[in-house]
Structure 1
């Protein structure tokens, strides 16, 4: 069986178990064996820090056993994807595994930085770059997120699905996930 690691910020939701169980069910229905953060027991620890390191180790172990990753890169706690999920995507890229991702935001990184972070208060610098009031240029490559995410997925033959959903469904709508899952299934289960 082809094992898929399901990465994303869903682990932080109040209904995380329900959403993650649904994603695992969909992955199984598509023919994959899902590997889901939170499914394995975490070793007992003596401190919060040790627990965090233990969780990281368990997740890395699952990724080492996965054949590919599908990552939820929907903006989380800011204008970009969850940093833990970004690490996991990079980890899988480093292992040379196929990478797939999706986002429930059709708005690209530049638009989110421009409006959500800088509130539209930007100007052109003498070098022609668009920059915020802090003088920092804003990455504008018509990509869903940072160029290293889009580029890392694309250069490895993966797919980055972008779909708009109502704000109330930002982390629960699974249409883009299902589309990403179907693409991965066609490529890896045929």
Structure 2
């Protein structure tokens, strides 16, 4: 399980709820909240220790369910994006969810206050001249593509702003789909 929930003031409670849900669908979850960080002399060393432990957790996992709800901007948490890429590079099944129903193009367009126009090259561009991805995808095309290639899916929901990182409905939708696709018993004839 990957996502920005680790930054919540009630992170342990939210992670425990996610862990219980994952178990109820037949998965054995590993979560960034499960790590025990050794004492270090500097903050930098502490950050490196956390990174190493997170990589170890990912290496022990067989699939990823990533929370791509926009975090501190229009896109998913960069740490979660790294984790999703890491797991995709390992060839693991990848699933994701977002508690934001707007697609990436809509969110970036909103960032520009709707001041988006078609450039002479036929691409949508913001007032800074930079092109916008307009592929009707939840996130950047590499994230959506990485998940799709691994037969995963991105589940989206629209939730109240104060529930962006607390509502677990889309997460549970992901668990249900992952269980159907990965844990379904083989039919023997």
TM-score, with structure 1 as normaliser? 0.95
Q: Deviations over 1:138-190 (max 9, x none)?
A: 11000001000001100111111111111111110000000000111112222
Secondary structure at the counterpart of residue 38 of structure 1: helix
Describe how 1:1-190 pairs up with structure 2 within 5 A: 6-115=1-110, 117-190=111-184
The number of residues matched between the two structures is 184
Q: What is the CA distance between 1:40 and its match in structure 2?
A: 2.1
Q: Deviations over 1:94-148 (max 9, x none)?
A: 1111100000111000000001x11112222111111111100111000001000
The equivalent residue for 1:3 is none
TM-score, with structure 2 as normaliser? 0.95
Indicate the RMSD between aligned Cα atoms, in angstroms: 0.8
- Unpaired stretches in structure 2, ≥5 consecutive residues: 185-189
Higher strand share: 1
Matches of 1:29 and 1:127, distance apart in 2: 50
Matches of 1:59 and 1:158, distance apart in 2: 22
Matches of 1:112 and 1:39, distance apart in 2: 32
- Unpaired stretches in structure 1, ≥5 consecutive residues: 1-5
Secondary structure at the counterpart of residue 71 of structure 1: strand
Matches of 1:159 and 1:125, distance apart in 2: 32
